[in-house]
Amino acid sequence: MPLDITLFGIQMPTLLPIFVIAAVVQILIDRIMSDAGIYNHVWHPGLFRTAIFVCIFAIPSLLIYN
């Protein structure tokens, strides 16, 4: 996979669309976990949400750049 993507004549790094997709996936997972009441059992919900986002973003990033 190329490390740069050209979209409408603008060259951008591949990590930018991965970041946007990871953000959308994290929002969906956040809503599901919030409705299920999982955040009531987590010590620090903000830290937990950040850790989930980092995991979602890191997996495809490592697959591309590895």
pTM for this one?
0.84
DSSP 8-class letter at 7: E
What is the identity of the amino acid at 38? Answer: I
Q: How far is CA 51 from the centre of its chain?
A: 10
Whole-number Å distance between alpha carbons of 19 and 37? 26
Dump pLDDT digits (tens) for 4-60: 888 888 898 888 989 999 999 999 999 999 999 999 999 999 999 999 999 999 999
What is the identity of the amino acid at 28? Answer: L
